[in-house]
Amino acid sequence: SQKIEQNSEALNIQEGKTATLTCNYTNYSPAYLQWYRQDPGRGPVFLLLIRENEKEKRKERLKVTFDTTLKQSLFHITASQPADSATYLCAHYNKLIFGAGTRLAVHP
């Protein structure tokens, strides 16, 4: 069955550094991968969508890459800030499958 895997361990980084989160999927490639941000006690909020024919997508300090050969998407936050601390979810859109998310903590 289709699975989305994200690193379950929290990622701790220093303010100003680049955070890189990984999303791996099994079986067939999705036409779209989406990334969401979720703060404690709140619903997920959409950040970026990348299509299978796109290698990279950017939005302000955010960058997403999509490698269908590796079956992997990377999510980067450059010049990270404490306000970026949250859980980030990856979603295989065709099958409406979400990963469990990776918690990011940015320390001053």
State which residue, 15 or 39, has the beta carbon closest to another protein. Answer: 39
Judged by CB under 8 A, which stretch of 36-44, 52-60, 62-70, 72-80 contacts another protein?
A: 36-44
**DSSP character string of 33-81:** EEEEEE-TTS--EEEEEEETT-SEEEETTEEEEEETTTTEEEEEESS--
How do beta strands 102-107 and 11-14 pair?
A: parallel
Is residue 46 involved in binding another protein (CB under 8 A)? yes
Q: How many CA atoms lie within 13 A of 86 on its CB side?
A: 18
What gap in Å lies between CA 36 and CA 98, rounded to an integer? Answer: 10
- Figure out which of the listed residues 19, 34, 88, 103 binds another protein, where binding follows CB under 8 A: 34
Is residue 89 involved in binding another protein (CB under 8 A)? yes
Question: What is the closest distance, in whole angstroms, from the C-beta atom of residue 108 to another protein in the complex?
Answer: 28
Per CB under 8 A, residues contacting another protein are 4, 6, 8, 31-32, 34, 41-46, 49, 89, 91, 93-94, 96-101
